[in-house]
Structure 1
């Protein structure tokens, strides 16, 4: 997933920003925010595309690549979100904010978040797995600890909590070859994911039935299709060019840039920190992208996974 994170994601941000600014008439800061919010992926909305339980997916499988991408790009979206906030607060000219953005939002927050995740994941794995009776631990308590402990430390250090949580989870997952408790922990995480997702979609439905119907415009549908069916596949293929992945899997990985509820969170986070022009239109457009992604990616996932990753369903 490294290529998708370092190439596809920035290219998506730039492409959506330029399209929103030049063709849709969004203000530069709002257009950048739109690109930053839409760029992260979320494989939760298509379970067939998610990596399976521990020990099932091989390293390098398409599903593992997509799950790794969606796990890490949540944190990597924040530098672009913060850039949009800086543009809205200070001005669009880079000289006004570029130095602080590079030193703080890129260098400091990413490195510190990753370091905190590394240390906290190692500490928790050693502390939990040192017990002679791992089954005595509570899956719920452990899952919450693994999430909240690194996230809280990272936020206290003014770094990126999402990056810290993902790195901590990767370090913790590394211990799966040494301890069988990782399997029930993974099962609990999948079980709790479903009701939380239901709650989030209920809230999304409330918004759709109220604010969305007033801000929605017809141009948002073709725009969403361009983002999902043109921008993501093209930038994905660019990132995967030159790799030893076969062509069908390249198309599969490039196509499944699933957009989820996290995109709305990024918008609301930015709206709470600065005033953006055309904020309602941006929120409606992102919602349209999510709805289209649910139908396009969700309905096609099982069929395409069976074709590109036989034996993984």
Structure 2
């Protein structure tokens, strides 16, 4: 039954793809709604006896890997280097600021112990690359947003998912899941090892593809599949070496991008479309099925106040405060500050924390409601905000077609 529901939704998305891209309802929101309808509302699917947490962990991990490969290949590497300054600010000061704000809200509003509050804040801090893809990729986004802004959002969403790993890992020690020394070594090797794995695997893969292209041994379809397989391979190698495997995938994609240059980028950019429309459907349907409604009600108004605070305060004030360092226009900073969606990466880090020994049910209850709220709010506001941005750019006489080219 689950396969039938997910498959049917995918077929409908194929037929109505253009309309959906221009509507206020995003693909993740449709999949989430289907899961809620099929589970809690109609009772068509029952997952009460399944190991849902483990499946959510593995599914979110795999989807993150594919998404990060898509992000790494979305633009030429030179385009990412050109936005290095704002991205560096977002990956350092902004990521820490978002963690502190979210942690403070969890402690003050939700009343969690400080260690658990900081862990929750680290889990929901990174910008999700899967939900961000539905905002910055596709025809409408390319027409309505300048390439530079989309490059900044893409690069940040790719980088901070991996860089949240050391934050989460170190904070786990404060919750009693491991010692400070063990977790610190794990965090340091996680980042350093991921960079090493990514550079080596990505460069080797790129050289192999260039050699195959020169011999005309591959076609566009093969290259698309190869990008997916490369993401899975990097994820697996990173995990075997006990590194930050999510970051390893992103670095692999960047290294691969640097080597292949424009040899294969046209076909591999199709990965964005495939990801945002189809591959995320099972995970968001599953999320709709497993939402902890009773836990939400038991936590009461503090939980909903916490979620509202996260949506309004976690990112926008932090990014606005960093505007001088970002060196961006006010319009760009506001758009960037609002669209930092929380999604698959938060699900991954919450379930990762659970499997590392943090069993407090409030972690999943709060994290899942934040993801749901972000999926709904950012999904509904994406299209109107892009159109408003494009209209303001035209009114000011800027933002022409030449500025929106990715190359």
Fold similarity call, TM over 0.5? yes
- Where does 1:141-220 land on structure 2 (aligned, <5 Å)? 141-175=225-259, 177-179=261-263, 181-208=264-291, 215=298, 217-220=300-303
Q: Tell me how large the CA RMSD over aligned residues is.
A: 2.8
Q: Which deviates further from its counterpart, 32-41 or 207-216?
A: 207-216
Identify which of 201, 204, 221 aligns with 1:123: 204
Aligned counterparts of 1:75 and 1:251: Cα–Cα separation in 2: 24
Residues 43/112 of structure 1: CA separation in 2 closer, same or farther (3 Å cut) = closer
SS at match of 1:158: coil
Give 1:307 deviation, angstroms: 3.6
User: 1:288 aligns to what?
Assistant: 369
Residues 169/246 of structure 1: CA separation in 2 closer, same or farther (3 Å cut) = same
Give 1:212 deviation, angstroms: 5.1
Give 1:60 deviation, angstroms: 6.8
Aligned counterparts of 2:220 and 2:164: Cα–Cα separation in 1: 38
Give 1:146 deviation, angstroms: 1.5
Aligned counterparts of 1:86 and 1:62: Cα–Cα separation in 2: 37
TM-score by length of 2: 0.67
| Unmatched 5+ stretches in structure 2 | 1-86, 391-398
Give 1:259 deviation, angstroms: 0.6
Q: Does the 8 Å contact 1:46/1:298 carry over to 2?
A: no
Q: Does the 8 Å contact 1:44/1:50 carry over to 2?
A: no
- Tell which has more relative contact order, 1 or 2 (C-alpha 8 A, sep 6+): 2
Q: Does the 8 Å contact 1:51/1:67 carry over to 2?
A: no
Residues 59/214 of structure 1: CA separation in 2 closer, same or farther (3 Å cut) = closer
| Unmatched 5+ stretches in structure 1 | none
Residues 302/87 of structure 1: CA separation in 2 closer, same or farther (3 Å cut) = same
Corresponding pairs, count: 302
Identify which of 163, 167, 183 aligns with 1:80: 167
Identify which of 90, 111, 115 aligns with 1:29: 115
Aligned counterparts of 1:174 and 1:67: Cα–Cα separation in 2: 16
Q: Which deviates further from its counterpart, 28-37 or 127-136?
A: 127-136
Give 1:125 deviation, angstroms: 0.7
Q: Which deviates further from its counterpart, 64-73 or 184-193?
A: 184-193
Cα deviation, 1:95-141, whole Å, max 9, x if unaligned, reads: x61x5544441x32212201211111111011012112231762453
Cα deviation, 1:73-108, whole Å, max 9, x if unaligned, reads: 1111111221232122268xxxx61x5544441x32
Aligned counterparts of 1:33 and 1:183: Cα–Cα separation in 2: 40
